[in-house]
Amino acid sequence: MTGVLLAGCGPQESGADGSESEKSDKLVIWEDKEKAIGIEDAVAEFEKEHDVTVEIIEKNYAQQLEDLRLDGPGGSGPDVFTMPGDQMGSAVTEGLVKEIAVDETLQSTYTESAMQSQIVDGKVYGLPKAVETTMLYYNKDLITEEELPQDLEGWFNYSKEVRKGEQYGFLAQFDQTYYANSVLSGYGGYVFGKNSDGTFNPEDIGLNNDGSVEGANEIKRFYDEEIFPAGMVGEQGINVIESLFTEGKAAAIISGPWNLEPFETAGVDYGIASLPKLSNGENMRAFIGVKSYNVSTFSKNAELAEELVKYLSNEEVSKVRYEKTKEVPAVKALAEDQEVMESDASKAIAEQSQFSDLTPGIPEMNEVWKPTDAALQTIATGKSEPQEALDQAVKSIEGQIEANHGGK
C-alpha cells in the first residue's frame, strides 16, 4: 500500500501568494493503516461529484508527517494526509501543512478540544477526524465487571494474587511517555505549563517535579514486583501486552480505541472501562489525541484537496467511518448520537476525556518523547531512581529545545 504514488501530485509551482500554475486531475490521500474502509464510499462519491480520481494509500498516521518531509519536495507526496494533533506545531513551522478556510460555523461543529488542536496562531490547518484516549480493556473470561478494582492500588494487589507462570493481571506500557503521563500528571506532574492565555510554555517543564517523581515511584513498583513481564520494556512492549491479552494471559490492559476491531477479530470477549483512579484518589490524566485530515503544501490541487478534507470530516461521513472503523468521531453532534454513545468505547473515552489533557501541539513537544521514554525505561529496569532519571530527561529536553527552537 505504500508503493509508488502518483507522479502528478508533487509540489505545486506557485508564487508568493500561493497561486497555482499547474493542477492535477488526480488527488492522493494518505489514510491511516486499516482505516481506508471507513472512507472508501465517501471518496467514490466525491470522485463522481468533482470528476476527479482519488487514490487512497494507507500509512501509519503517526509516520505520515515524517514521510511527507521526504516525499513532498520530491513530488511523490499526498494532497491530503492525516496526522496526530501533537505534530501540528512542527508541521506549521516547517511549512508542510496548508492553511485552510474554515469559518466559525464549521469550526463549531467539532468538539472544542479537537478543533483547538488544528489551530495555530489563530489560523486553521486541518479538520479533526477522530479523538482518542487510552482506556481499560478487560477479558470477561478472566474477570467480570463487578470484580474490576477501582484504583491502581487495587490492580497492583489483584495482579500479585493472579500472577503465575505466563498469567498476568493488569498490564500497561508505563515505560512510554504516552501511557505513563496518565500516572505522572495524576500526581501533579505535567509536560509543559501554560501561559496566562492558555498556550503552552516550553520553558516550564514539569516532568521532574515532586508530582512526577511520586508518579514514577508508583510506576516503579509494578516492575520491581515483577507484576509486568521483563520483556515488556521499550517500543516493542506494546506487542507483548497485546499478545498476552489476545491469548487470554492478561486480565486487563491499558490501550486505545485502535485495538477495538483487532481484539474483536481475535475473538477476545472483552469489556471496556475508563482508567482506574490512582492510589492518591485522583483520576488518571491520559493524553487526548486528535487525528485530523490536512492539506499538504506540496499539493498541485490544494483547493480541491481542501474540499476533500471538509467532505471527509462532515457529520455524515464521520458517522459511517465510525461504524466501519470504530474510531470515535470529533463531530459534536455525534458525541450525543444514540448509536455512537451506546458503544462502551465511546462512553469510556467520553468519561476519560473529562480528566485528560490535550497532547501539547507545539513544536517543542517533539523534544519530549525520546528523553522521557529513556528515563522511564531506566526506572523500569532499575538502572536509575526516578528523581535522577527524570532530572536527566528534563536536562536533555531543555538542551534540545535550546538547540532546535532557539530556547523559545
For residue 194, give Cα distances in angstroms to 65, 177, 187, 190, 375.
26, 19, 17, 10, 24
Residue 364 has pLDDT above 70, yes or no: yes
Average pLDDT over residues 236-260: 93
Nearest to 282 by CA among 184, 360, 204: 184
**Separation CA 6–CA 242 (nearest Å):** 36
**Separation CA 235–CA 120 (nearest Å):** 30
pLDDT category of residue 12 using cuts at 50, 70 and 90: very low
What's the pLDDT score for residue 8?
36
**Separation CA 350–CA 344 (nearest Å):** 10
**Separation CA 121–CA 41 (nearest Å):** 35
**pLDDT per residue over 106-159, tens digit each?**
999 998 888 989 999 899 999 999 988 899 999 999 999 999 999 999 999 999
Residue 267 has pLDDT above 60, yes or no: yes
**Separation CA 112–CA 153 (nearest Å):** 33
What's the pLDDT score for residue 22?
54
Q: Is the CA virtual torsion 227, 230, 234, 240 positive or negative?
A: negative
The domains of the chain, with CATH numbers, are 7-132+288-358 (3.40.190.10), 135-285+368-405 (3.40.190.10)
**pLDDT per residue over 191-220, tens digit each?**
999 998 888 999 999 999 999 999 999 999
**pLDDT per residue over 66-93, tens digit each?**
999 999 999 899 999 999 998 999 999 9
What's the pLDDT score for residue 23?
59
For residue 118, give Cα distances in angstroms to 128, 250, 286, 293.
7, 37, 20, 10
- Name 198's Cβ contacts closer than 8 Å, sequence gap at least 6: none
Q: What percent of the chain has pLDDT over 90?
A: 72
Residue 387 has pLDDT above 70, yes or no: yes
Global pTM reads 0.79
What's the pLDDT score for residue 137?
97
For residue 147, give Cα distances in angstroms to 126, 158, 313.
43, 10, 39
Residues in the chain, overall count: 408
Grid cell in block for residue 150: 477501582
Grid cell in block for residue 240: 507483548
What's the pLDDT score for residue 29?
98
pLDDT category of residue 407 using cuts at 50, 70 and 90: low
Residue 55 bridge partners (DSSP): 28
Residue 18 has pLDDT above 70, yes or no: no
What's the pLDDT score for residue 19?
42
Residue 234 has pLDDT above 80, yes or no: yes
Average pLDDT over residues 55-68: 95
HSE-CB at 257 with a 13 A cutoff on CA atoms is: 26
**39 sits in which H/E element:** none
- Taking a C-beta distance cutoff of 8 angstroms, is the pair 363, 121 a contact? no
Nearest to 65 by CA among 32, 24, 107, 99: 32
